[in-house]
Amino acid sequence: MNPARLGILSALTASICCVGPLLLVALGLGSLGLGAVLGRAHGWLLGAAIILLGLGWWSYITECKRCHREGCQMRRGNLTKWTLVVTTGIVVVFGGMRVWLVAAEAPTAETTHAKTQGTTIQIPVKGMTCGMCELGVEKPVAELPGVMSVDAQAGKEQVVVTYDPARVSVEKLIQAINKTGFLASEPVSKQQ
């Protein structure tokens, strides 16, 4: 296969677990639960992306060596090389998102948003693997009336929500999360 196409395929594979759930929500298909499936497959998708990228670079280098021996010009050599360089960067960024996310998580359950009066709950959520997943969950929950702060934590597989129970129910919070394609379950703790 063409090295540039392998590179592009590897970038798409590495990014699908982060971009896929957001695309599904945008298309109105977030409630299918595919976001959680893609999130659980993050490691496999990243591994496949690295293999595809390695094959792309191997194919490119092999072709460069052949052309050098035969004294010919590689067809679209510069374009192929830069496509592989850019896609390598994309794979590194999406691969690094998970590593950065786990390293950046604070050891406490404190939210990063300002504390306000209200009830705080921790809702377990399966399938989040990166910052894009977190944003995809935080936005619809934050838009609910009565929600004061939302902090999705993919590394801890939870969403910490401070809310006014008179304006929004726990069930509505869980429904909002589930509509994003991730799987929320009953809260593990409540605090005043």
Euclidean distance between CA atoms 109 and 78, whole angstroms:
49
Could you tell me whether strands 183-184 and 147-153 are parallel, antiparallel, or unpaired per DSSP bridges? unpaired
The pairs formed by 77-83 with CB atoms below 8 angstroms and a separation of 24 or more are: 79/4, 80/2, 80/3, 80/4, 83/3, 83/4, 83/7, 83/8
125 and 62 within one domain: no
Euclidean distance between CA atoms 156 and 152, whole angstroms:
9
| Domain termination residue (choose one: 104, 129, 163) | 104
Look at residue 14 and tell me if it is in a domain: yes
Look at residue 136 and tell me if it is in a domain: yes
Domain of 178: which CATH number? 3.30.70.100
95 and 38 within one domain: yes
Look at residue 7 and tell me if it is in a domain: yes
81 and 8 within one domain: yes
Look at residue 112 and tell me if it is in a domain: no
pTM of the full structure? 0.55
CA-to-CA separations, 156 to 27, 45, 109, 165, 175, in angstroms, rounded: 28, 21, 9, 24, 20
Per-residue confidence of the chain (192 residues) as pLDDT tens digits? 687 777 777 777 767 666 666 676 677 665 555 666 666 677 777 788 888 888 888 888 888 898 889 888 887 888 888 888 888 888 888 777 655 555 555 444 444 444 457 899 999 998 887 777 788 888 889 999 999 999 999 888 899 999 999 999 999 999 999 888 888 999 875 555
